[in-house]
Amino acid sequence: MTDHVQPIPILIAPQAILKAKARAVTPADADRIRDLVPRMFAAMYKAPGIGLAAPQVGIGLRLFVMDLMPDDKVVPYVLINPEIVARSPETATREEGCLSIPGLYAEVTRPARVKVRYLDQAGIKQEIEGDGLLAACLQHEIDHLDGILFVDHLSTLKRNMIMRKLVKQQREKRDLRDDD
């Protein structure tokens, strides 16, 4: 699906755009979205990940791509201007990671089920309801559009530990490159 498409680079935290609220996509953004979506899917599949929000690739628009690959089949979704319209009162805790915080994971508690309203790539209003991994992914990606990272749901202590590990990891990666 995205073999011939050049993946767009994924930003690693901390980057200012990852903490900023993205603006709504408008009809004027249509050409940009058409070019961006395949590159986002290419980056997400290459990483590999199951969701990628536009701010993670340096674009401050309310858009994300997602593919949970049920039964190892490609089932891509493009969600433009998504909004959570219903949340369950029950919560669920599951391990989350993030392509902008590579290789680091933590338990995050969120509503167990959500319903999200969004526009698809054709501009048609859609709704998706989910629980389990789907609910977590939807909420995680919408958080990105609001400048929230999964670590922001953790205690200050846990968040600081993860961010220190990330900085160390990135420094070591840079040092290895510098040695080449």
Judged against a pLDDT cut of 60, whether residue 1 lies above it is answered with no
Q: Are 58 and 114 in contact (CB under 8 A)?
A: no
Q: Where do the domains of the chain lie?
A: 16-179
Which residue is catalytic, options 90, 95, 129, 141? Answer: 141
pTM over 0.75: yes
> Which residue, 146, 143, 134, is CA-closest to 24?
146
- Angle in degrees, CA 115, 119, 121, rounded to 5: 135
Residue with the bigger pLDDT between 117 and 175: it is: 117
Looking at domain 16-179, which CATH architecture does it have? Answer: Alpha-Beta Complex (3.90)
Neighbours of 106 (CB within 10 A): 18
pLDDT tens-digit readout, 113-159: 999 999 999 999 999 999 999 999 999 999 999 999 999 999 999 99
Is 96 labeled as catalytic in the residue annotation? no
Q: Are 97 and 105 in contact (CB under 8 A)?
A: yes
